[in-house]
Structure 1
Amino acid sequence: MQAEIRAQLPNADEVIVDYAAGYLNHAAQQFSSEGDPLADAASVIVQLLLSASGDLSSENEVTVQNLVEKFISKLNDERGVDGERRQQAPSAKKLDQTIQVGSQRNVSTTLGLAGASVDLEAANSRKVESRVDKKKLEKAERKLRAKQDKKVFKTVEYEASRLLDQTDEQQSYEEFFMAVNPLQLGADAQSKSKDIKVDGIDISIGGKRILSDTNLTLAYGRRYGLVGQNGIGKSTLLRALSRREVAIPTHISILHVEQEITGDDTPALQAVLDADVWRKHLLKEQEKITKELADLEKERSTMADTSADAARLDKQREGLDITLSDIQNKLAEMDSDKAESRAASILAGLGFSHERQQFATKTFSGGWRMRLALARALFCEPDLLLLDEPSNMLDVPSITFLSDYLQTYPSTVLVVSHDRAFLNEVATDIMHQHSERLDYYKGANFDSFYATKEERRKTAKREYENQMVQRAHLQTFIDKFRYNAAKSSEAQSRIKKLEKMPVLEAPESEYVVHFKFPEVEKLSPPIIQMTNVSFGYTPDKPLLKHVDLDVQLDSRIGIIGPNGAGKTTALKLLIASLSPTQGLISANPRLRIGFFAQHHIDALDMNASAVSFMAAKYPGKSDEEYRRHLGAFGITGMTGLQKMALLSGGQKSRVAFACLGLTNPHILVLDEPSNHLDIEAMDALSIALNQFEGGVVMVSHDVTMLEKVCKSLWICDQGTVEHFDGTVKEYKKRISAQAGQSGVAIQH
């Protein structure tokens, strides 16, 4: 059978061919009172082989159908003429009258087994406590149900397909929200525990195992910082939680704030109100039912009270009245009448003026859209708030606000972040994702977690190395004296000692990342200088005025300030991507500038590998040279040959840095370089920037990177770029003080 399938379908996988043949043979030997198992199996195998062949044309479908029918005919002949089974179905006999087994005494001797007769009445009345573990039984049933669901093959669907796309194209935001967070009516849901404990989690993506038999434990009201190296699967875990692919109870509401949101024509305030989908849905239902009741009342007024139609309408009106009452009670529970004022206050707290709250979401920059996504989540107040790198699109003032806000957030927060300062301020606990598991550090901010983790790693390494020395010493003695009569007893003693020693696993190798920028040829000053520069996208609204900035090969300049103040614009003026409306920008004619854009990922080809992308954009090197160059930025092994769509955000950032290195720049101009990088990569980038022999100008929100790299801080705000004498921490304190004076606050 297998040979014929391979001859007809040469592209089919060997495993699938063997499975198809085995499945049909097995079905031929089964009996079912509800139909022919072989016929049912045939329809499944046709679809499976059609999918496995890779050719879904109607011609190939006919070929596969004929092939399977040929096998069915052969199997029917083997099991008897006209399909009659060799092993007949068990015969059944109808009893003359019903036997009440519970009322019979001494009617069975354990179904023919040796022993005395059994009193079934007594056995039926005993209350025997079940020893079945219900949780294990439920888990087994879920796995069995999942296997049964997979038996209908239409197309080959990989595990990663559920998680690679952030949202299903077929589902709107409203449909997705209602599916993930079903409406909970009554007070019953409020009384249930909102702690989360799920055992035995398994998650894969793209054939790579992310978590294996791992326990997830989140105590209600705690704030968890999820950390781990790039590509380990942190974002994948958050998406799996947000879609309830992990079995979280449905009475616990979940909202996932993605790294970016898509803008449209909806005003900002309305976008926040629309985020609470059930409120929006219930308001529509209330309006619809109110209109139906008015129409019924109008129709009823024309009928006599004794008519059949009047009775029917009265009954219909009574049902609508009950439904309307339930909806109004739920809206009152939601404080629906106060929703707009609450949404407006949240937006105001995040920096949206009353005028900007009416702007369309598509008019906002990435940082403002991130604030809008946060506002939507905070307005909904989910029981589990999932934040994936929230600081990536926020400026220092916004991060300061978010940090202050989350410290008093009443529900559970799980945040993926590589911002040490942010985690130190926000997290009450740290979850470390590594080696397909989650390790918990209770009551730890990032600094204490990192110290504890390093101490654990060093202790485990020391214990492992000591045991390896002991084992080697014992094994050497055993090998030398095992067959020596005088020493055999000592050798046997050491063998037993070796067998009793606990087997320690080799500790994980230390995760180290290296970045290396190319050497810089010397240039004579001036390198690049901005003198009395002003700029505006429209003549009547200048964004920057009278900016003076001098950049040399030894410069380490950090530019900070609120979003929308013109930080990125100042960088684009530096690299001559924009021309000033007033003033002068002079540069050395031999100067090469490497620019790292905030949205650098948009410039990468997601369908190409890093090596092929670099070969197309920066030709002239061999694939091996490109792979070595990628290795200087932490892209090692086969990673450089994978499609970039399968890489994590941090890995894509490293590819962008590697491309930057190929330009051999004298000056690096970096717009939010820490976005998507893990902590080890940020440390490596900081070291590489300090060792870089050229100049560095960066816009960044990461306090740690600014402190490690920048020798000079400039604040971009209110149309100016001015030198700041203090540190980043002093700037954050000034922002918090200003926010306190202005009285901006959000009530949970």
Structure 2
Amino acid sequence: MAAYVEILKSEFPEIDSEVFEYITGVLDSGATDFEDEEEVFDAIGGVLQEVSPDSKNEDDIRDICLQLFNTLKLYDLCCHTHPPLLSCCCPLSVLTVSAATEVQGIWMVKRPQNTTVDAKKLEKAEAKLKAKNEKRNEKDSQKSSGPVVLEEASASQASSKKESRVDISGKNRSYDIRIENFDVSFGERSLLQGAELSLASGRRYGLVGRNGLGKTTLLKMLASRSLRVPHHISILHVEQEVAGDDTNALQSVLESDTVREGLLTEERTLNARIANGTADGLESVRLSEIYIKLEEIEADKAPARASVILAGLGFTPQMQQQTTKEFSGGWRMRLALARALFARPDLLLLDEPTNMLDVRAIIWLENYLQTWQSTILVVSHDRNFLNAVVTDVVHLHSQRLESYRGDYENFIKTKEDRLKNQQREYEAQLQYREHIQVFIDRFRYNANRAAQVQSKLKLLEKLPKLKPIEKESEVTLRFPDNFEKLSPPILQLDEVEFYYASEHRIFTGLCVSADLDSRICIVGENGAGKSTVLKLLMGELTPVNGIRHAHRNLKIGYFSQHHVDQLDLNVCSVELLFKKFPGRLEEEYRHQLGSYGITGELATRPVASLSGGQKSRVAFAQMTMPCPNFYILDEPTNHLDMETIEALGKALNKFKGGVVLVSHDERLIRMVCKELWVCEGGKVKRVDGGFDEYRDLLHEQFRKEGYL
């Protein structure tokens, strides 16, 4: 925002500091809302006229407002022409930031003591802007379309004039982030109240908590700077997949480093002018400066670094040369992650990064992030990933944030110790209160002890109000198993050959089988055919050659990794079950949903308004209602919180039917699976050593390929 600050200070060198803060605050908050220079004039024109009544007339003020409006729109355009997958909130560009910092650093004007502003005009301008914003908000609320009106998230925090002045002046060069006393809400629901968040530069934080409490919302508030993060700290939020176009994958990653791209573009322009003979001496000087900066950032090594990142995330050399429009949504999300890792922002925000990755890519990402130099805040429900990556844990619960040093296992231990200590303290205080109350009750009507009784009553009143320890309710899941035991073979693929096109064979000679005692996990790289195996087992795909055999009483429950796409988002969960299984009482639907944590008003809210984890629970409730005797689960842990994943593992172990699942969650695999199948090279082979052997094989492969 340095550009409009420069305009204000050059046009009004004797401006009062409080008025300056008010004007910059109006411009900062309304940057994206002003539609023309007239609206800027309506908001601050009266105040600017009061600041300089003699030297500038109304036309002069309108011209200045036009300059301010153009500056704001230039800033807005710059922010929104960054690649759409990244919520990039750095001011204009690194070069602009540097220049702006220099301007602010030397602009230390001591204001004259006689500078005044008409308080009534200031108040009138504030009221006018407030009325305009209220009118716009009312208009926006009337524009809502579609059958479901989704609530919006918002954030507010106590502001400090001192912090604002330091931030605007450009003197704050710390990369630590501290946000105090802030609130976050989603519609009418309060997610955080009076919370504090401290992120030390260079540390890696895991944000954990139950589904629906606001972890994703908090990341969005940080990325959009609805919560105040110092302007010089660049933020990248991996939120959306890369838009498909004709840019190849490698070039798409290289373009995410806007500083390097800007320098290279300027270098090409200057060289062209020098070659055409249209350049003066300044171009040669500037070209030398560019070469120095390119050398400083090691621009020549960038393609190799980008290629290593892409390879680690599963992109083969051929895939790196493919255009982005050729990739599926899952691969474009990987590309978004690759761009963020390559750009190396000061604050990297990751929301469930392992959801889009296979086990191989997760292990590579764990190793890569362990050497990350700047700050990371990651939401993840993958216990092993957090243990491998994070240095600190931030726990969101009871509308507040609590920080813990160490990995996730240390967080669990420390949290349990804290709860035990708090419980002991609570019980000791309760016992002390009871002791005082016994004395009061015993001598209440004893005249000789009246003074002591009064003293005890006053002591009791002064004691802090006791609150019982808040413990998160335990998550329990149950898969009904009131069915008869089936004699094997239950489900079998014998010498199966399958392909979508004859020149692209996916499987040949596939021989696998499962029964009601099976606990089988299928792993392998994305595209190796894991989901295809599941669909062959279910009978959704017909083998080109070979036989699928299934018991006549086999009843399969299927959980798709794209389960959200199969839910009707425009109805509530109760109505969803009613449509799928009509003819039952509402209490039955509510009981079924309640078994998976969708209780009370959650069951009557539109499915679209639920968090990702809550939608998964609705999908579980829908899948289990017909009481299947065999479950096929494709990435069931996506979006589930840690407690629910733990409950899912326990429920699957208690279930008396068969289970085949595709998962990348190491914790769930170790809890549940007795057999590990690896999809690779058109075959499915069993790994006798289980997950440990598979992990060792991947590490050895990484070392050979030079990715570790």
TM-score by length of 2: 0.73
1:171-190 pair list within 5 angstroms = none
Q: Which residue of 1 aligns with 2:687?
A: 724
1:376 is matched with which residue: 336, 339, 351?
339
Shift of 1:482: 2.3
Shift of 1:576: 1.1
Secondary structure of the 2:679 match is strand
Q: Do residues 461 (structure 1) and 423 (structure 2) align? A: yes
2:445 is matched with which residue: 461, 483, 486?
483
1:546 is matched with which residue: 498, 501, 509?
509
Q: Which residue of 2 aligns with 1:255?
A: 236
Q: Which residue of 2 aligns with 1:17?
A: none
Give the whole-Å Cα distance in 2 for the aligned partners of 1:490 and 1:702.
Answer: 63
1:679 is matched with which residue: 642, 661, 664?
642
User: 1:215-234 CA deviation, whole Å, 9 max, x = no partner?
Assistant: 22111111111111111111
Shift of 1:721: 0.9
Letter in 1 for 2:372: Y
Flag the 1:744–1:160 CA change in 2: closer, same or farther, 3 A: same
Letter in 2 for 1:655: V
Q: Do residues 512 (structure 1) and 511 (structure 2) align? A: no
Flag the 1:602–1:261 CA change in 2: closer, same or farther, 3 A: farther
Q: Which residue of 1 aligns with 2:32?
A: none
Q: Which residue of 1 aligns with 2:44?
A: none
Runs (5+) with no aligned partner, structure 1: 1-126, 128-140, 165-183, 298-313
Q: Which residue of 2 aligns with 1:496?
A: 458
Give the whole-Å Cα distance in 1 for the aligned partners of 2:197 and 2:507.
Answer: 49
1:569-584 pair list within 5 angstroms = 569-584=532-547
Flag the 1:163–1:538 CA change in 2: closer, same or farther, 3 A: farther
Flag the 1:247–1:619 CA change in 2: closer, same or farther, 3 A: same
Give the whole-Å Cα distance in 2 for the aligned partners of 1:195 and 1:414.
Answer: 13
Q: Which residue of 2 aligns with 1:60?
A: none
Shift of 1:273: 2.1
Letter in 1 for 2:204: R
Shift of 1:618: 2.3
Q: Do residues 201 (structure 1) and 178 (structure 2) align? A: no
Shift of 1:501: 2.9
Letter in 2 for 1:693: K
Give the whole-Å Cα distance in 1 for the aligned partners of 2:282 and 2:189.
Answer: 53
Contact 1:535 1:544 in 2 (8 A): yes
Q: Do residues 607 (structure 1) and 589 (structure 2) align? A: no
Letter in 2 for 1:207: E
User: 1:352-394 CA deviation, whole Å, 9 max, x = no partner?
Assistant: 2221111233443555334322211111011111111111121
Stretch of structure 1 that moved more, 468-477 or 342-351: 468-477
User: 1:567-621 CA deviation, whole Å, 9 max, x = no partner?
Assistant: 1110011111111122111112232211111111111122221112221222222
Flag the 1:375–1:448 CA change in 2: closer, same or farther, 3 A: same
1:622 is matched with which residue: 585, 592, 600?
585
Shift of 1:657: 0.5
Shift of 1:399: 0.8
Q: Do residues 219 (structure 1) and 200 (structure 2) align? A: yes
Identity %: 49
Contact 2:634 2:662 in 1 (8 A): yes
Contact 1:471 1:498 in 2 (8 A): yes
Contact 2:633 2:662 in 1 (8 A): yes
2:215 is matched with which residue: 234, 247, 251?
234
Q: Do residues 266 (structure 1) and 266 (structure 2) align? A: no
Give the whole-Å Cα distance in 2 for the aligned partners of 1:616 and 1:734.
Answer: 47
Give the whole-Å Cα distance in 1 for the aligned partners of 2:677 and 2:396.
Answer: 37
Give the whole-Å Cα distance in 2 for the aligned partners of 1:358 and 1:584.
Answer: 39
Q: Which residue of 2 aligns with 1:173?
A: none
Secondary structure of the 2:136 match is coil
Shift of 1:288: 6.0
Contact 1:160 1:207 in 2 (8 A): no
TM-score by length of 1: 0.70
Contact 1:229 1:678 in 2 (8 A): yes
Secondary structure of the 1:399 match is helix
Shift of 1:190: 12
Flag the 1:431–1:352 CA change in 2: closer, same or farther, 3 A: same
Contact 1:198 1:216 in 2 (8 A): yes
Q: Which residue of 1 aligns with 2:670?
A: 707
Flag the 1:711–1:260 CA change in 2: closer, same or farther, 3 A: farther
Q: Do residues 474 (structure 1) and 436 (structure 2) align? A: yes
Q: Which residue of 2 aligns with 1:694?
A: 657
1:101-250 pair list within 5 angstroms = 148=130, 151-156=133-138, 163=153, 192-250=173-231
Letter in 2 for 1:595: Y
Give the whole-Å Cα distance in 1 for the aligned partners of 2:468 and 2:626.
Answer: 41
Secondary structure of the 2:255 match is helix
Flag the 1:218–1:646 CA change in 2: closer, same or farther, 3 A: same
Secondary structure of the 1:635 match is coil
Shift of 1:349: 3.2
Letter in 2 for 1:566: G
Give the whole-Å Cα distance in 2 for the aligned partners of 1:460 and 1:223.
Answer: 28
Letter in 2 for 1:689: L
Secondary structure of the 1:690 match is helix
1:435 is matched with which residue: 393, 398, 418?
398
Give the whole-Å Cα distance in 2 for the aligned partners of 1:147 and 1:681.
Answer: 47
Letter in 1 for 2:676: L
Give the whole-Å Cα distance in 1 for the aligned partners of 2:200 and 2:127.
Answer: 30
2:317 is matched with which residue: 354, 365, 374?
354
Give the whole-Å Cα distance in 2 for the aligned partners of 1:577 and 1:204.
Answer: 43
Flag the 1:699–1:346 CA change in 2: closer, same or farther, 3 A: same
Q: Which residue of 2 aligns with 1:310?
A: none
Contact 1:596 1:660 in 2 (8 A): yes
Shift of 1:400: 0.7
1:293-312 pair list within 5 angstroms = 297=278
Q: Which residue of 1 aligns with 2:327?
A: 364
Secondary structure of the 2:432 match is helix
Flag the 1:203–1:548 CA change in 2: closer, same or farther, 3 A: same
Flag the 1:414–1:515 CA change in 2: closer, same or farther, 3 A: same
Q: Do residues 404 (structure 1) and 386 (structure 2) align? A: no
Shift of 1:287: 5.3
- Alpha-carbon RMSD across the aligned residues, in angstroms, is 3.2
Give the whole-Å Cα distance in 2 for the aligned partners of 1:225 and 1:410.
Answer: 16
User: 1:280-317 CA deviation, whole Å, 9 max, x = no partner?
Assistant: 455556656776788894xxxxxxxxxxxxxxxx9xx7
Shift of 1:504: 3.5
Contact 1:268 1:360 in 2 (8 A): yes
Larger Rg: 1
1:736 is matched with which residue: 677, 699, 707?
699
Letter in 1 for 2:190: R
User: 1:615-651 CA deviation, whole Å, 9 max, x = no partner?
Assistant: 1222222332211110001111110111122211111
Contact 2:495 2:546 in 1 (8 A): yes
1:451 is matched with which residue: 387, 400, 413?
413
Give the whole-Å Cα distance in 1 for the aligned partners of 2:694 and 2:132.
Answer: 57
User: 1:465-505 CA deviation, whole Å, 9 max, x = no partner?
Assistant: 34234324433543454233244234224223323433343
Give the whole-Å Cα distance in 2 for the aligned partners of 1:461 and 1:191.
Answer: 42
Letter in 1 for 2:528: A
Flag the 1:405–1:389 CA change in 2: closer, same or farther, 3 A: same
Give the whole-Å Cα distance in 2 for the aligned partners of 1:263 and 1:461.
Answer: 55
Flag the 1:238–1:336 CA change in 2: closer, same or farther, 3 A: same
Flag the 1:247–1:325 CA change in 2: closer, same or farther, 3 A: farther
Contact 1:520 1:665 in 2 (8 A): no
Contact 1:667 1:695 in 2 (8 A): yes
Flag the 1:625–1:323 CA change in 2: closer, same or farther, 3 A: farther
Give the whole-Å Cα distance in 1 for the aligned partners of 2:593 and 2:677.
Answer: 32
Contact 1:226 1:234 in 2 (8 A): yes
Letter in 2 for 1:447: E
Letter in 1 for 2:232: H
Contact 1:259 1:390 in 2 (8 A): no
Secondary structure of the 2:501 match is coil
Letter in 2 for 1:211: L
Shift of 1:445: 0.8
Contact 2:312 2:365 in 1 (8 A): no
